[in-house]
Amino acid sequence: GVVDPARVAPVYQRIVALDPFEADAHRMLGRMAMQINQPDTAAREFRAVLALGPVDQAAAHTDLAESYLKSGKRAEAKKQTLAALEIAPTYERAQALLLKLTGGQP
């Protein structure tokens, strides 16, 4: 079913408090922050994921780009999207985001 951020976020916050280097917990906190329209909080968590050297760097850059776009930071969003596409040129989520950022899609 659907994850309720209000119920699950404290669990991930506790994980991060115990192990600040747990990238998956930061990623989940970022995604939950996006669900409840807190893009600045999401960006902080996604920056932590990138700093920890995630396995899927393209997805991490795209997560950060989406949080920047949601908070109106288009230039930063484009920079992160391009970083994702440098790593994985065929990554469809980043391609779609770049089209959105450059006006190639309504």
Contact 80, 60 (CB under 8 A): no
pLDDT in tens, 2-46: 668 778 888 889 999 999 999 999 999 999 999 999 999 999 999
Q: How far apart are CA 74 and CA 65, in angstroms?
A: 8
Q: How far apart are CA 6 and CA 90, in angstroms?
A: 35
CATH, domain range 5-102 = 1.25.40.10
Residue 76 CA, chain-centre distance (Å), reads: 12
| Structure tokens given for 49 | 């994921």
Domain residue ranges of the chain, discontinuous segments joined by +: 5-102
Q: Model's pTM, two decimal places?
A: 0.84
Q: How far apart are CA 73 and CA 81, in angstroms?
A: 12
